[in-house]
Amino acid sequence: LRGRNLHDEINRIFSPQWQQQIRKQQSEQRLTAIYQKRFGADYARLLETQQWIATQPNKAEMLAFLSNPNPFKAV
């Protein structure tokens, strides 16, 4: 506790906000481990692509294009 400078504020550790943040971090770590196992070396590239798409003004159309197994086939 002293190493994290929490020895004077130990009550914060038991607050709902603190516990919620801990659960969120653990959930993110579990999901990261699952995706890393599932996608292997491609995981980093997927993250990069995901972050890039999130910044695009036409991201909905991009995602629809990617989810279509044959985007050039007439519907």
For 45-64, the pLDDT digits (tens) are 999 999 999 999 999 999 99
Question: In terms of Cα–Cα distance, which of 70, 23, 66 is closest to 46?
Answer: 66
pLDDT: is 61 or 70 the higher one?
61
CA distance 31 to 19: 18
pTM for this structure? 0.60
**H-type helices in 1-75, by residue range?**
10-13, 16-39, 42-54, 59-67
